[in-house]
Amino acid sequence: MFLRVVLIIVLFCLPFQAFSNMNVDHLDTTVNDSGQLEPTKDNHHCYRYIFLQSGIGLPKKNLYYHNFNFFMNDFQYGITDNFTLAAGLILPFYGYISPKYTVEVAPKQHLMIGAIGITSMFLSETKKLKANLMYAGYSFGDEFNHFSVCMGYLNGSFMPEGSLMYNFGGSLRLAPTVYLIGECWINGGKQTMTNVSKWELDASGQKILIDPADPLNSLYKTKHGNIELNRTTIFANVQLRLISNKNDTKSWSFGIAYYSNWGGEYQEQSANGDFRNLSNFFALPLPSISFTQKIGKVEPHIPF
């Protein structure tokens, strides 16, 4: 409940109060006499891959916007040069908040720690989703070519217990305004399968008939419950990022995303005596489209 209140304030209330009179210092693109974009000295999109944030910190008071597949809207804001706060909506039901702290420990090397909290905004208690991820990571490289590896601990309402989450991502500059970016999230641990049908058994382990007086035609008693399984989940995303030739603070990215969940075979049993051995392998490839914009320095005037 607390996280939902914070998200509503951050995403709905504060923008109207804080940004209605804000000072915005928009970034300018370097253009030559022919009107062509000069090779930029900065990569305004080095702070994140697709979902995964890199270890390069967003500069203080800078605002960065990201949209994924038109249903996820995300804002990042540099509280300081080392501390970034991100928050967003996944339409139509979910919201999240994600603080991150980064520090440069050596040239081209950054360490980061952070958290991601996700919650249902308006769903009922029986359908709500809650998940929390605490992570730490390492990034190597400059603004143009870099990779990041992270490890964290995930807890969620869909999981009977917490488990480790592994993330890695990278950015490769192919041309002055073209980048290959990608990331992968891997989680292995116990997950709950709901509403699984099982026979009711007697003390000797035999199936119980609904009508013992008619054993030839009677169905068997069944019950539905939840079971815990060790399953693996992978979410991968690869995109080609195309930076605007007119304004290098904007970019469009196009690629493919892949979600898969598998593992933990179990048996589903029916009232007529049949059964099915299931593994519930699920895979979903889908198009991946992103729009990003580094808005620039934003100094909100918060009246308190």
Query: Which 8-state DSSP code applies to residue 216?
Result: T
11 φ, ψ (degrees, to nearest 5): -90, -20
Residue 6 host element (H or E): helix 2-8
214 φ, ψ (degrees, to nearest 5): -130, 70
Alpha-carbon distance of 76 to 68, in angstroms, equals 14
49 belongs to a structural domain:
no
Domain span holding position 256: 2-38+56-299
271 belongs to a structural domain:
yes
43 belongs to a structural domain:
no
Per-residue pLDDT 10s for the chain (304 aa) are: 555 555 544 444 444 444 444 454 445 444 555 555 454 557 899 999 999 999 999 999 999 999 999 989 999 999 999 999 999 998 878 899 999 999 999 999 999 999 999 998 776 666 677 899 999 999 999 999 999 999 999 998 878 889 999 999 999 999 999 999 999 999 998 888 888 999 999 999 899 999 999 988 899 999 999 888 899 999 999 999 999 888 899 999 999 999 999 988 889 999 999 999 888 889 999 999 999 999 988 876 555 4
48 belongs to a structural domain:
no
Quick check: 169 and 186 in contact, CB under 8 A?
no
50 belongs to a structural domain:
no
Alpha-carbon distance of 183 to 165, in angstroms, equals 13
Q: How many domains does the chain have?
A: 1
81 CA to centre of own chain:
23
Q: Torsion over CA of 78, 84, 90 and 95, rounded to 10 degrees? A: -110
Count of Cβ atoms closer than 10 Å to residue 144 Cβ: 14
Helix (H, G, I), strand (E, B) or coil at 8: helix
Alpha-carbon distance of 257 to 236, in angstroms, equals 6
DSSP E strands, 121-221: 130-141, 146-156, 163-175, 178-199
Helix (H, G, I), strand (E, B) or coil at 223: strand
First to last CA, the chain: 24
**Where residue 120 sits, what CATH number does that domain have?**
2.40.230
Alpha-carbon distance of 31 to 271, in angstroms, equals 73
287 CA to centre of own chain:
16
14 belongs to a structural domain:
yes
47 belongs to a structural domain:
no
